[in-house]
Copies of this chain bind each other. A is one copy, B any other.
Amino acid sequence: MDIKSLCLGALSIGDASGYEIKKMFEEGPFSHFYDAGYGSIYPALNKLLEDDLVTCTEIEQESRPAKKVYSLTDAGLTYLKADLNQKPARDKTRSESIVMMFFGHLLSSSHREEILHSYIDYFRDGCTCLDDLDLSNQPNGRLFVRGLGLAVYEAAAKYLEENKDLLLSDDEERDFGDAA
């Protein structure tokens, strides 16, 4: 599974432009479990078009630049279903905020505090974002996944707030027997 498959998935919900697909990753239903930028999405859509897994129509708009709207073909849906029924790869995560908290004793106390509060805000905003999704009359999988995201974000925000003193109390210069 790669960005191409995710684009097919996005188009299985409905026709969309690259810009609109990006928004699904940024603030839409994919935001809490997959990331992709323009640099991945546009090339992916072009490859899908080459392989006839999607079609493309250029649409002129009033008071906005023209956009290219992509649609899933039958072959695209078949490909997507096959890919979705494979064995999933392990989750990949990369959190620089957590890295910084892990090495909190190497941070200035003001930076440590800043990181922590920004991270709490990040989870709170994530909850709002998921709450705002309109999932009425949609497949249960989408509701289920939104619920999972909310549960995880809420648990993270709760932990961070309830235990913030543990992080903030970290000494800057105590000796832990590390090389540092």
Dominant secondary structure at the A interface: helix
- A6-B99, A91-B122, A96-B88 given as contacts; is B35 within 8 A of A104 (CB)? no
A24 to B117, CA, bound (A): 27
- A93-B35, A141-B170, A176-B138 given as contacts; is B98 within 8 A of A84 (CB)? no
Central interface residue in A144, A160, A176, by most chain B CB within 10 Å: A144
What residue in chain B is nearest A31 (Cβ atoms)? Answer: B93
What residue in chain B is nearest A115 (Cβ atoms)? Answer: B88
CB pairs A–B below 8 angstroms (23 shown): A1-B96, A5-B99, A12-B103, A13-B180, A14-B179, A29-B102, A34-B93, A77-B179, A77-B180, A84-B106, A88-B99, A91-B95, A91-B97, A101-B141, A102-B141, A138-B176, A140-B166, A140-B170, A141-B167, A148-B156, A151-B155, A155-B155, A155-B156
Is A47 interfacial (CB-CB < 8 Å)? no
Is A44 interfacial (CB-CB < 8 Å)? no
What residue in chain B is nearest A114 (Cβ atoms)? Answer: B87
Within 8 A of B (CB), among A1-27: 1, 5-6, 9, 11-15
Is A178 interfacial (CB-CB < 8 Å)? yes
Q: A66 → chain B, closest Cβ, in Å?
A: 22
Central interface residue in A80, A111, A139, A163, by most chain B CB within 10 Å: A139
Residues in chain A within 8 A of chain B (CB atoms): 1, 5-6, 9, 11-15, 29-30, 32-35, 71-72, 77, 80-81, 84-85, 88-108, 111, 115, 118, 122, 137-145, 147-148, 151-152, 154-156, 158-160, 163, 166-167, 169-171, 174, 176-180
